[in-house]
Structure 1
Amino acid sequence: MSADEKILELLADENRRQEAFGLILSTYKERLYYLVRKILIDHDDTDDVLQEVFIKVWKNLGSYRGDSQLYTWLYRIATNESLSFIRRRKKAQNISMDENPELMNLFESNSKAGHISGDDIAIALQRAVLQLPEKQRIVFNLKYFEYLSYEEISEITSTTVGGLKANYHAAKKRIEEILGGD
């Protein structure tokens, strides 16, 4: 029995919801951390948002009916919480996160501190991804790094598949330009 099947079985019994939540945490915490981290970059911000994600998951466990796959439901919550965090920060700072050089500085300091590992190519790719507009960055991360289908991303972001394909294509083209590809 897969972890998702076990979680769904536990969710069916109201008395075992806490056990289901524990299994969700152990199964998805790391994947959701890296999803949120790719959106927010900063470790502390990611931890804060991840706490909010799991609070929201706990509060809404009773309303999850299995209409979508469990990870799609969790990714939607994590993505929405990340975007809400960005919007709150934009409003507080009154500047666009897409044009914020602080993101690049944060990335640079994190890579030097050893928080982001990988070779020079992976680091160059991450730098290029950081330069994408918010929507393209999210679509690119979900498609390229998380291997989600356009249909799954559509469920998570509430965006049409056609819109996602256009955003992904534009993101790839921009990354190629940044990295000096043809």
Structure 2
Amino acid sequence: MEKQALFNELFQTHYPKVLRLCKGYFNGDADLAADASQEVFIKVWEHLDSFRNESTIGTWIFRITVNTCLIYLRKKSTKKEIRSEQFPNVANENYSHEIEEKVSKMYACIQKLDEMGKMIILMVLEGMEYNEIAQVVGLTEETLRVRIHRIKKSLTQCVQK
């Protein structure tokens, strides 16, 4: 497959996941997440020829995404507070202010995690398989499972405060 066609396929397949992962890193800031996602795919294009097939291409793209988001966070050391207006308005009879508060609190609790914890939980929420996450973060699958358990316990305690 030629490079352009492969890139187009990768972009179509992975862009939504990359964007959601970036939004998780940036407290739901859609503009910043879109900028970082664009940067991710610039890097994918530039380094596509050097991909070594040591992992799946999706895992490689997620690693680039995590690194790019961390670089953005270091550059923009000012952290934004989560505001309820950042979340979409949903016209639904099941929607309540209480749910909005819980979602906001969960985002705030995720932001309190260390970088590794944040990276892991955002990939779990994205639905990635544990073996893929383990490859991205450089842990064994068993160690990852223990970390995920501890992260979930920590988030549960944080949200209940």
Q: TM-score range by the shorter chain?
A: 0.7 to 0.9
Equivalent-residue separation in structure 2 for 1:88 and 1:160 (angstroms): 30
Equivalent-residue separation in structure 2 for 1:116 and 1:21 (angstroms): 34
| Greater RCO (Cα-Cα under 8 Å, separation 6 or more) | 2
Equivalent-residue separation in structure 1 for 2:138 and 2:23 (angstroms): 21
User: Are 1:24 and 2:32 counterparts?
Assistant: no
Partner of 1:127: 108
User: Are 1:37 and 2:17 counterparts?
Assistant: no
2:76 to 86, 89, 109: 89
Residues 70 and 82 (structure 1), Cα distance of their counterparts in 2 relative to 1, 3 Å cut: same
Amino acid at match of 1:157: V
Q: Percent identity?
A: 25
User: Are 1:151 and 2:137 counterparts?
Assistant: no
Tell me whether 59-68 or 77-86 shows the greater mean CA deviation.
Answer: 59-68
1:115, distance to aligned residue in structure 2 (A) = 4.1
Partner of 2:152: 172
Any conservation in 2 of the 1:36–1:50 contact (CA below 8 Å)?
yes
Residues 87 and 166 (structure 1), Cα distance of their counterparts in 2 relative to 1, 3 Å cut: farther
Which one has a larger percent helix, Structure 1 or Structure 2? 1
Partner of 1:98: none
Deviations 1:115-151 (A, max 9, x none): 48676144443333233232212111112x1222333
Equivalent-residue separation in structure 1 for 2:58 and 2:122 (angstroms): 15
Equivalent-residue separation in structure 2 for 1:27 and 1:63 (angstroms): 20
1:162, distance to aligned residue in structure 2 (A) = 5.2
1:55, distance to aligned residue in structure 2 (A) = 0.8
Partner of 1:97: none
Amino acid at match of 1:36: C
The 5 Å alignment of 1:28-67 reads: 28-41=14-27, 42-67=29-54
Equivalent-residue separation in structure 1 for 2:146 and 2:8 (angstroms): 38
1:160, distance to aligned residue in structure 2 (A) = 4.4
1:57, distance to aligned residue in structure 2 (A) = 0.2
Alpha-carbon RMSD: 2.5
Gaps of 5+ in 1: 1-9, 11-15, 94-101
Structure 1-normalised TM-score? 0.71
